Each structure stands twice: as structure tokens, then as C-alpha cells.
Amino acid sequence: MDRASIPNHRPPRREQPLAIRIAHWSNVVFLVIMAGSGLQILTAYPALGPRGEQYSWYPFQNTPPPEWLTLGGWLAGGRHWHFAIAWFFVANGLFYLIYFSASGEWRRRLFIPGRDFGNAFKQFAYYLRLRKNPPDPDFYNGLQRMAYSSVILFGVIMVLSGLAIYKPVQLHFLAVLFGGYDGARVVHLAGLCLFGIFVLIHLILVATHPRELLKMITGGHRA
């Protein structure tokens, strides 16, 4: 079959196209600043729940996060960093999502349960040593797709819950979505924890599969 007869033919893309690499490494910088300044802000009131009714289920009530994890020096500094970089974080996220959808990259990256659930399950069984061999990956394995797709969702939830905390009156509908201002603070902190868990696992897996790190730098092969 000659090329012209293939509809919508495009030259093959690298495994990690430039747009994705740019978004990924920008996100590393933005996420570090957002997390550090966010923890600085949390330090001012390291508790969940309104005054007089702090939630009894939260184990770290009135325990500030470790200082070495904070960025901004004091509450106002933390807020300025947080609200400054938030725009870049959102812009980078939109850039990624637009590229992700428009380029068709979503086909090999998005977790589609019908296609990926079985593969994810087998990969999980492999990690638990219940299976001898990992399932055949199709660019990414099902677990990777699940992780990379959920972290996009975490990002959206972080932005929306953050806006609800920032403007609980002007954006009251967002605060309602998260169970009010104090509910939005819970979601925002839970989102940070999920991001933290994702990054931790991500770094461990990258450390054990260094070739993947190189791909995120050079782009890898044209697939």
C-alpha cells in the first residue's frame, strides 16, 4: 500500500514527542514549587475542619509539615509563589491536554477500561509476583495508562479545589462541589498526597527502568 492511500497519514512520532517532553519537565518545576509553597501555606493552619470543629479523623491535626519541604519562607511568600506558579501549572496542563487530544497521543496513553483493564490487572499480578511474566505492553502497559491518566485527573481536581479555597464566595459553586471551603481544603491536601505517592512510585520505577528516563529526554525512537 502506498502512503497516499492511507487516510490521515502522518509521519511517525517519537515515543515521547517534544510537546510531551516540554510539558513533562515544565511540570516537574511547577509541581515542586506548587507543593512546597502549598505546604508553606498549610503551615499557617496545619489543621482540617473549621474552628471549633476540627475533623477527628485527620491524624495530623495541628502538626505542621516539615520545614525543609516548604517554600516561600512565610505565609505571604508561600501564597505569592503558589498563586504565581498556579497560572503556569494550569497553562502547562492545558497545553498538554490540547496536544494530548489533538495529536491523537491519547490513543496510546489514555486508560480505556475496556482495552486496558485486563492488562493492568495482569501487570499488577506480576508486581505482586502472582504471575511469572508481565503482560505484553502496547506502548504502555495498563497500569501505566491507569497511573498517567489518573494523575491528569488529580491535576484537574487540584486546580478546581484550589480555586474553591482561593475564592470560596466568588466561585461558590466550586466550593459546593467539594463540600464547602473546608471540604475543598481536605480534597486539596488529599490531592497533594496522591501526587506525592504518584511521584514516589514514578521515581522508583524510573530508577529501575532508566531507559524510560532517557526517552523523556531524547524522545526515543520514532514509532
Partner 1 sequence: MPKLIARRKFITGAAALSLLAGCESRPAGAFLNLMREFNEKAEEWLFSPSRLAPELPESATTPEDAFPQYSILPEIPEAPPDWILKIGGLVHRPMSLSLDDLQRMPATEMRVQHHCVEGWSAVASWRGVRLSVIAKMVGLDPSVRYVEFKSFDANYYSGWDLASAMHPQTLLAYSMNGHPLEPGHGAPLRLYSAIKLGYKNVKYLTEVNFLPNKIGGYWEDQGYEWFGGV
Residue 10 CB coordination number (10 Å): 8
SS3 12: coil
Q: By CB under 8 A, is residue 41 in contact with partner 1?
A: yes
Q: By CB under 8 A, is residue 36 in contact with partner 1?
A: yes
The whole-angstrom distance between residue 155's C-alpha and the CA centroid of its chain comes to 5
Q: What's the grid cell of residue 186? A: 481536605
Within 149-208, which residues bind partner 1 (CB under 8 A)?
Answer: 165, 167-172, 181-182, 185, 203, 206-208
Q: What's the grid cell of residue 123? A: 501487570
Q: By CB under 8 A, is residue 47 in contact with partner 1?
A: yes
Q: At what angle do helices 75-102 and 18-44 cross, to 10 degrees?
A: 150
Identified binder of partner 1 from the candidate list 79, 109, 115, 131, rule CB under 8 A? 79
Residue 91 CB coordination number (10 Å): 12
Least distance (Å) between residue 118 CB and partner 1? 31
Residues in contact with partner 1 by CB under 8 A are: 28-29, 32-33, 36-37, 41-42, 44-45, 47, 50-53, 68, 71-77, 79-81, 83-84, 87, 165, 167-172, 181-182, 185, 203, 206-208, 210-211, 213-214
